[in-house]
Amino acid sequence: MYKIIRKKELVSQIYLMDIEAPRVAKNANPGQFVIVKVDEVGERIPLTICDYHREEGTVTIVFQTLGMSTKKLAALEEGDYIRDFVGPLGNPSEVVMDSVEHLAGKKIVFVAGGVGTAPVYPQVKMLKEKGIDVDVIIGTKSKSTLIFEEEFNQVAKNLYVCTDDGSYGFQGLVTDRLKKLMEEEGKAYDLCVAIGPMIMMKFVSRLTASYKLKTIVSLNPIMVDGTGMCGACRVTVGSEVKFACVDGPEFDAHLIDFDEAMRRQSMFKTAEGKKAIQMEQAAVHAEGELCELGELQK
Amino acid sequence: MKLDRVPVREQEPAKRILNFQEVSYGYNQEEAVEEASRCLQCKNPKCVGGCPVAIDIPKFIRELRDGDMKAARDTLGKSSNLPAVCGRVCPQEEQCEGKCIVGIRGTAVNIGKLERYVADWAMAEGYRNTEKAPSNHIKVAVIGSGPAGLTCAGDLAKLGYEVTIFEALHEPGGVLVYGIPEFRLPKEKVVREEIKLLLDLGVTLETNVIVGRTVSVENLMKDEDFKAVFIGSGAGLPMFMGIKGENANGVMSANEYLTRANLMKAFRSDYDTPISHGKKVVVVGAGNVAMDAARTAVRLGAEARLVYRRSEKEIPARAEEVHHAVEEGVILNLLTNPKEILVDEKGFVKGMVCVKMTLGEPDASGRRKPLEMEGTEHVIDCDSVIMSLGTSPNPLIASTTPGIETNRRGCILINEENGETTSTGIFAGGDAVTGSATVILAMSAGKKAAQGIHAEMVKKGLVPEV
Q: Is residue B338 in some structural domain?
A: yes
Does B288 lie in the same domain as B194? no
pLDDT reported for residue A291: 35
Q: How far is A267 from chain B (nearest CA, A)?
A: 6
Q: Is residue B365 in some structural domain?
A: yes
Residues of chain B positioned with their CB less than 8 A from the CB of A84: 170, 207-208
Reported as a pLDDT band with limits 50, 70 and 90, residue A195 is very high
Scanning every residue of chain B, which has its alpha carbon at the shortest distance from the alpha carbon of A69? B272
Least CB-CB distance to A231: which of B208, B250, B256?
B256
Mutate which: A24, A225, A289, vs B, most B CBs within 10 A: A225
Least CB-CB distance to A68: which of B168, B259, B272?
B272
Helices (H) and strands (E) in chain B, counts: 19, 16
pLDDT reported for residue A282: 47
The answer to whether B340 faces chain A, any CB pair under 8 Å, is no
Residue B427 · residue B421 · CB < 8 Å: yes
The answer to whether B277 faces chain A, any CB pair under 8 Å, is yes
Which residues on neighbouring strands pair with residue A19, listed in sequence order? A4, A59
pLDDT reported for residue A190: 94
Does B251 lie in the same domain as B116? no
* Cα separation, A138 vs A148, whole angstroms: 10
**Domain end position, chosen among B343, B364, B389:** B389
Write the pLDDT tens digit of every residue in B317-363. Answer: 988 899 999 999 999 999 999 999 999 998 999 999 999 999 998 88
The pLDDT mean for chain B works out to 93
CA angle A70–A72–A78, rounded 5-degree value: 100
The answer to whether B241 faces chain A, any CB pair under 8 Å, is no
Least CB-CB distance to A24: which of B214, B260, B274?
B214
* Cα separation, B156 vs B136, whole angstroms: 11
Scanning every residue of chain B, which has its alpha carbon at the shortest distance from the alpha carbon of A29? B213
pLDDT reported for residue B466: 58
Scanning every residue of chain A, which has its alpha carbon at the shortest distance from the alpha carbon of B384? A267
Which letter, b or e, does each residue of B74-101 get, where b requires 16 or more Cβ atoms within 10 Å of its Cβ?
bbbbebbbbbbbbbbbbbbbebbbebbb
Q: How far is A165 from chain B (nearest CA, A)?
A: 31
Residues of chain B positioned with their CB less than 8 A from the CB of A66: none
Q: Name the domain count of chain B.
A: 3
Flag whether pLDDT at B377 surpasses 70.
Answer: yes
Could A227 and B210 be called an inter-chain contact, meaning their C-beta atoms sit closer than 8 Å?
Answer: yes
pLDDT reported for residue A295: 35
Does B165 lie in the same domain as B298? no
The answer to whether A57 faces chain B, any CB pair under 8 Å, is no
Flag whether pLDDT at A191 surpasses 60.
Answer: yes
Give the global pTM: 0.90
Residues of chain A positioned with their CB less than 8 A from the CB of B249: 263-264, 266-267
* Cα separation, A289 vs A276, whole angstroms: 15
The helix (run of H) or strand (run of E) holding residue B243 is none
Could B213 and A298 be called an inter-chain contact, meaning their C-beta atoms sit closer than 8 Å?
Answer: no
Least CB-CB distance to B272: which of A23, A41, A290?
A41
Q: How far is A61 from chain B (nearest CA, A)?
A: 17
Flag whether pLDDT at B448 surpasses 80.
Answer: yes
Residues belonging to the binding site of A for [2Fe-2S] cluster are: 230, 233, 245
**Domain end position, chosen among B340, B366, B389:** B389
Q: Is residue B301 in some structural domain?
A: yes
Residues of chain A positioned with their CB less than 8 A from the CB of B346: 263
Could A86 and B210 be called an inter-chain contact, meaning their C-beta atoms sit closer than 8 Å?
Answer: yes
Residues belonging to the binding site of A are: 62-64, 230, 233, 245
Share of chain A above pLDDT 90, in %: 74
Residue window 344-383, chain B: list those with CB within 8 Å of chain A: 346-347
pLDDT reported for residue B267: 87
Q: Is residue B295 in some structural domain?
A: yes
3-class SS letters over B107-124: CCCCHHHHHHHHHHHHHH
Does B278 lie in the same domain as B369? yes
Residue window 13-42, chain A: list those with CB within 8 Å of chain B: 23-24, 26-27, 37, 41-42
The answer to whether B69 faces chain A, any CB pair under 8 Å, is no
* Cα separation, B81 vs B86, whole angstroms: 9
**DSSP notation for B126-188:** T------PPP---EEEEE--SHHHHHHHHHHHHTT-EEEEE-SSSSS-THHHHTS-TTTS-II
Largest CA distance in chain B: 71
**Domain end position, chosen among B125, B154, B172:** B125
Instruction: Give residue B335's Cα distance to chain centre.
Output: 27
Least CB-CB distance to A228: which of B170, B214, B237?
B237
* Cα separation, B321 vs B24, whole angstroms: 12
Write the pLDDT tens digit of every residue in B179-220. Answer: 999 999 999 999 999 999 889 999 999 999 999 999 999 999
Instruction: Quote the domain boundaries for residue B442.
Output: 139-236+392-459
Q: How far is B459 from chain A (nearest CA, A)?
A: 33
Does B370 lie in the same domain as B275? yes
Reported as a pLDDT band with limits 50, 70 and 90, residue A275 is low
List the beta strands (DSSP E) in B188-335.
204-206, 228-231, 237-238, 251-253, 280-284, 303-307, 331-333
Find the CATH number of the domain harbouring B107: 1.10.1060.10
pLDDT reported for residue B396: 87
Could B274 and A275 be called an inter-chain contact, meaning their C-beta atoms sit closer than 8 Å?
Answer: yes
Residue B214 DSSP SS3: coil
Does B224 lie in the same domain as B191? yes
Does B248 lie in the same domain as B223? no
Scanning every residue of chain B, which has its alpha carbon at the shortest distance from the alpha carbon of A234? B247
Flag whether pLDDT at B306 surpasses 80.
Answer: yes
Does B213 lie in the same domain as B266? no
ipTM: 0.88
Does B451 lie in the same domain as B344? no
pLDDT reported for residue A272: 58
Residues belonging to the binding site of A for FAD are: 62-64
β B139-143/B378-381 pair status: unpaired
Residue B244 · residue B341 · CB < 8 Å: yes
Does B270 lie in the same domain as B145? no
pLDDT reported for residue A210: 94
pLDDT reported for residue A247: 92
pLDDT reported for residue A268: 77
Write the pLDDT tens digit of every residue in B31-83. Answer: 999 999 999 999 999 999 999 999 999 999 999 999 999 999 999 999 998 99
Q: Is residue B83 in some structural domain?
A: yes
Q: Is residue B465 in some structural domain?
A: no
The pLDDT mean for chain A works out to 88
Q: How far is A37 from chain B (nearest CA, A)?
A: 9
Residues of chain B positioned with their CB less than 8 A from the CB of A43: 264, 271-274
Residue window 88-127, chain A: list those with CB within 8 Å of chain B: 88-89
Reported as a pLDDT band with limits 50, 70 and 90, residue A278 is low
Does B336 lie in the same domain as B285? yes
Write the pLDDT tens digit of every residue in A89-130. Answer: 999 998 888 888 888 888 999 999 999 999 999 899 999 999
Flag whether pLDDT at A287 surpasses 80.
Answer: no
* Cα separation, A75 vs B181, whole angstroms: 33
Q: How far is A204 from chain B (nearest CA, A)?
A: 23
Residue type, A51: D
Could B236 and A227 be called an inter-chain contact, meaning their C-beta atoms sit closer than 8 Å?
Answer: yes
Share of chain B above pLDDT 70, in %: 99
Write the pLDDT tens digit of every residue in B262-286. Answer: 999 988 888 999 888 789 999 999 9
- Residue of A258, A147, A153 whose CA lies nearest to A199: A258
Task: Return phi, psi of residue B268, to 5°.
Answer: -100, 135
Residues of chain A positioned with their CB less than 8 A from the CB of B274: 43, 268, 271-272, 275
Find the CATH number of the domain harbouring B405: 3.50.50.60
Least CB-CB distance to B170: which of A37, A267, A294?
A37
Reported as a pLDDT band with limits 50, 70 and 90, residue A283 is very low
The answer to whether B389 faces chain A, any CB pair under 8 Å, is no
Q: Is residue B416 in some structural domain?
A: yes
Flag whether pLDDT at B162 surpasses 60.
Answer: yes
The residue ranking higher by pLDDT, A203 or B362, is A203
* Cα separation, B287 vs B294, whole angstroms: 11
Q: Is residue B329 in some structural domain?
A: yes
The answer to whether A86 faces chain B, any CB pair under 8 Å, is yes
Q: How far is B274 from chain A (nearest CA, A)?
A: 6
Which residues, 6+ apart, have CB-to-CB distance to A295 below 8 Å?
B269
Largest CA distance in chain A: 64
DSSP character at residue B370 = E
Residues of chain A positioned with their CB less than 8 A from the CB of B166: none
Flag whether pLDDT at B225 surpasses 90.
Answer: yes
B457 Ramachandran zone, left/alpha/beta (phi>0; psi -120 to 50): alpha
Q: How far is CA B154 from CA A114, B142, B147, B453, in A?
A: 49, 10, 11, 13
Could B255 and A88 be called an inter-chain contact, meaning their C-beta atoms sit closer than 8 Å?
Answer: no
Q: What radius of gyration, in Å, describes the C-alpha atoms of chain A?
A: 19
Does B110 lie in the same domain as B42? yes
The answer to whether A166 faces chain B, any CB pair under 8 Å, is no
Least CB-CB distance to B274: which of A84, A228, A268?
A268
Write the pLDDT tens digit of every residue in B395-446. Answer: 888 888 989 999 988 999 999 999 999 999 999 999 999 998 888 899 999 9
Q: How far is B236 from chain A (nearest CA, A)?
A: 5
